[in-house]
Amino acid sequence: MVSVDKANASKQQTSAHVDTLPSPSTTDLSKSRTTPSAISIVATPTPLDSGPFFPSKILKVGSRGEAVLALEKRLTELRYDVGVIDGFYDQQTWQGVVAFQKYARLKRTGTYNLETQKALHVAMLPEGLHPELGLPRIEIDLTRQVLLFFDEQGLDRVIAVSTGSNRKYCEISKKSGKQVCGVARTPQGKFRIQRRISGWRESDLGKLYNPLYFIDGYAIHGSPSVPAYNVSHGCVRISIESSLWFYDTIKNGTPVIVIG
């Protein structure tokens, strides 16, 4: 994982408010991990232990401390990409929380609230739907708006994405200056990573960071804007931070399956 220094930011003062939630029944969460190294997927997953957990606080962007640290560890243990585990709730932590909310079919707030608290207490390791594709592989779920990356050992990371909005559009090309019209739809089916461009690329419809193309002009790419819902022109947006390790890890030829 590419390290992003949140430590300096965590030393700054913030006015973010931390509220208290009613505590549900607790479980013994005694084992701790701070890195998302892969493990094999089993047929029937079981709840994971994540170390001391603080489930009774509302946490959001700007929050910091032991409760945030425990939340980051828990999400990382479940393979959700929260970035650096440092006790600071930044935008990448928000992405990890949203990814969990999406997979669990919760309201996509990006805030660690009571609903998320209860679900995270009993959460199991996410499972892929297409093991027949083998390892490694990428599964993109358009309904849940998440990407699951499996390496040679099994599930490695779960990433929040924003895919095609399924709406018609007509926009002026940022390259040619001509009008470009179409339907913002992400193609479904089985593909492979075909090619890549390092760094920023200017397309007709906007900028793409570290794009990995899986069919024609459709790519999985970094973007500074990855909201909780599908708003893209058809590409699969992931956060800039996620795109750093993703670009370096994924090889050309890796199978990609996109399901609705």
Could you state, in chain order, the average pLDDT of each consecutive group of 10 residues for the chain (260 residues)? 40 40 40 39 43 69 95 97 98 99 98 95 95 96 98 98 97 88 97 98 94 98 98 98 98 98
* Assigned CATH topology for domain 131-259: L,D-transpeptidase catalytic domain-like (2.40.440)
What pTM was computed for the model? 0.80
Task: Report d(CA 239, CA 92) in Å as an integer.
Answer: 8
Q: 202 - beta bridge partners?
A: 207
**pLDDT of res. 174:** 81
Buried b (16+ CB within 10 A) or exposed e, 45-72: eeebebeebbbebbbbebbbeebbbbbb
**pLDDT of res. 5:** 44
**pLDDT of res. 55:** 54
- Provide the angle, in degrees to the nearest 10, between the axes of the packed helices 66-77 and 91-103: 50
**pLDDT of res. 57:** 85
Q: Is the peptide bond before 131 cis (omega within 30 degrees of 0)?
A: no
Amino acid identity, residue 166?
N
Write out the residue limits of the CATH 1.10.101.10 domain(s) in the chain.
Answer: 11-36+46-121
* Assigned CATH topology for domain 11-36+46-121: Muramoyl-pentapeptide Carboxypeptidase; domain 1 (1.10.101)
Write out the residue limits of the CATH 2.40.440.10 domain(s) in the chain.
Answer: 131-259
